[in-house]
Amino acid sequence: MYTNKSFQQLMSFVGKRQFSLYNYRDTANPRVFFTVSKNGQPLGDLVFELYRNHTPQHAENVLSFATGDNKWKASYSGSLLNKGFPGIVLQGGRITDCNASVNGGRLPDEGLHYMRHHKRGQLSMVNDGENANGHEFMITLGKVDFLDGYHTVVGELVEGEEVLNAAESSLSRLGHTVDEIKIEHSGTR
């Protein structure tokens, strides 16, 4: 292989740096959970670490709707995970009592220039265009880099892969679920 020690050191650094670019986690970040059911039968919890260290406004937005601690007292509890495509995304979080973010309007994009949709289980915001983020979210079901630069990545799944698998199995190729996948309860951990 390569015998030049400085080249090997450089390549070692580059490899570590590349990994760290996609490691957004921090032990100080908050966690939220969604207790999910399928056709009324419990599936379990999806637990997400929110990237408050990278996308603080969006992390606070999701946190407020997970707990219902906002001016509308609106919560993800009772909302559906009802859109998406297998291997791409599962979308949900539409709250009928509210059509805005925690601040009452739309949130500006955060982290678009460096946050990537590089793996399964990332929590990302649905938007209506540039700087138009509300409370709806999507969960990546694989690497979906075509979303990079357009949607704010706000967290990642840390528990509940089997729950995500069960929810994904209800997605059709037509862009909706064939079963009712519901967030029964949401909150913090």
pLDDT digits (tens, 9 = 90+) for 70-125: 988 999 999 999 999 999 999 999 998 776 787 778 999 999 999 999 999 999 99
Q: How confident is the model at residue 13 (pLDDT cuts 50, 70, 90)?
A: very low
Phi-psi region of 157 (alpha: psi -120 to 50; beta: other; left: phi over 0): beta
pLDDT of residue 8 exceeding 60, the answer is no
Query: Do the domain assignments include residue 77?
Result: yes
Query: Do the domain assignments include residue 19?
Result: no
CATH of the domain at 84: 2.40.100.10
* pLDDT for the residue 56: 97
Range of the domain at 180: 25-188
Query: Do the domain assignments include residue 1?
Result: no
Query: Do the domain assignments include residue 183?
Result: yes
Query: Do the domain assignments include residue 148?
Result: yes
Q: Which amino acid is at 45?
A: D
pLDDT of residue 14 exceeding 50, the answer is no
Query: Do the domain assignments include residue 14?
Result: no
Average pLDDT of span 3-26: 58
Query: Do the domain assignments include residue 10?
Result: no
Query: Do the domain assignments include residue 154?
Result: yes
How many domains does one find in the chain? 1
